[in-house]
């Protein structure tokens, strides 16, 4: 669902699904570690997470499932410099704090596999001896998937390999992640998001 | 804003694999090719196929 969709769209979808008797809802989510309250609060996602979860539970839906996949790799790499820092028109890169912080990131095919795998799981264990994965393991919880655990520098090495470039072909600028976040958050709070 | 917050040093906030592990093995996922994914991302970006603007 587009980030620009009206704010109550998700709620409408949840209510419609509940009314139709849908047992599992995987609500739109930004992939963040939903159990990390500080991260979610700092990213302005905690209120949405909480209201979505409680709405699903109140409506009597069997379970919510939150997909923790972090940012999508392809769109974060190619979608402009304000994501993973790469601008492929300018051959420029913004490195945060030297670019050495590892994060998980997931490709679209892997996200599709996650949803498909979950939907194909049986719901409950057959008996006590059954050790296979079931959907019930994930009831009202978070599913963690990842394609790569990489730093910006790891991604840069991959980019140089794929594009046949070297350091001298790139313009690198350095920023503090914390400062960038604080500045952006302040802009948001003032209602200046684009 | 979402992106820079995720990579603040010392928080480990973007590294849930370290903190909690993943369900990749449980769900039978393959190991993926970083180079291939990079190639796709760059191509889609250059072709204008990536839409949307997070904050």
Would you call A82 and B26 a contact, using CB atoms and an 8 Å cutoff?
no
How many Cα atoms within 13 Å fall on the side-chain side of residue B39? Answer: 8
The CB density around residue A24, as the number of other CB atoms within 10 Å, is 17
pLDDT of residue A194: 54
Chain A positions in Cβ-Cβ contact with residue B37 (cut-off 8 Å): 73-74, 77, 107, 147-148
Would you call B41 and A74 a contact, using CB atoms and an 8 Å cutoff?
yes
The alpha helices in A64-151, defined as continuous H runs, are: 73-78, 108-120
Interface of A with B in 159-178 (CB under 8 A): 159, 161-163, 175, 177-178
Closest CA to A162 of B10, B42, B1: B42
Chain A positions in Cβ-Cβ contact with residue B15 (cut-off 8 Å): 101-104, 149
Closest CA to A63 of A137, A121, A144, A117: A137
**Given CB atoms, is A77 within the 8 Å cutoff of chain B?**
yes
The CB density around residue A23, as the number of other CB atoms within 10 Å, is 11
Percent of chain A predicted with pLDDT > 70? 95
Chain B positions in Cβ-Cβ contact with residue A2 (cut-off 8 Å): 52
Report strand pairing: A171-175 vs A92-96.
parallel
pLDDT tens per residue, range B19-32: 999 999 999 999 99
**Given CB atoms, is A118 within the 8 Å cutoff of chain B?**
yes
ipTM of this complex: 0.94
pLDDT of residue A191: 76
CA distances from B21 to A2, A101, B6 (A): 29, 17, 17
């Amino acid at each position: 669902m587009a980030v620009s969709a009206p704010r109550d769209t998700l709620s409408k979808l949840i209510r419609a699904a509940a009314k139709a008797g849908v047992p599992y809802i995987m609500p739109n989510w930004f992939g963040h570690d939903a159990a990390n309250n500080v991260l979610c609060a700092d990213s302005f996602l905690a209120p949405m997470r909480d209201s979505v979860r409680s709405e699903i539970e109140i409506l009597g839906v069997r379970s919510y499932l939150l997909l923790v996949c972090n940012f999508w790799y392809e769109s974060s790499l190619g979608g402009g410099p304000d994501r993973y820092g790469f601008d492929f028109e300018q051959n420029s890169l913004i490195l945060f704090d030297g670019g050495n912080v590892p994060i998980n990131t997931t490709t679209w095919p892997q996200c599709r596999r996650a949803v498909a795998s979950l939907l194909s799981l049986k719901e409950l264990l057959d008996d006590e001896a059954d050790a296979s994965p079931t959907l019930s393991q994930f009831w009202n919880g978070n599913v963690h998937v990842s394609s790569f655990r990489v730093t910006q520098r790891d991604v840069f090495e991959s980019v140089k390999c794929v594009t046949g470039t070297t350091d001298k072909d790139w313009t690198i600028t350095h920023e503090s992640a914390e400062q960038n976040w604080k500045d952006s958050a302040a802009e948001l709070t003032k209602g200046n998001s684009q | 804003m979402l992106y820079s917050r995720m990579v603040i040093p010392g928080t480990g906030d973007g590294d849930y694999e370290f903190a909690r592990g993943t369900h990749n093995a449980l769900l039978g996922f393959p190991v993926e090719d970083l180079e291939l994914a990079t190639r796709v991302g760059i191509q889609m970006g250059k072709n204008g196929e990536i839409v949307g603007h997070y904050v």
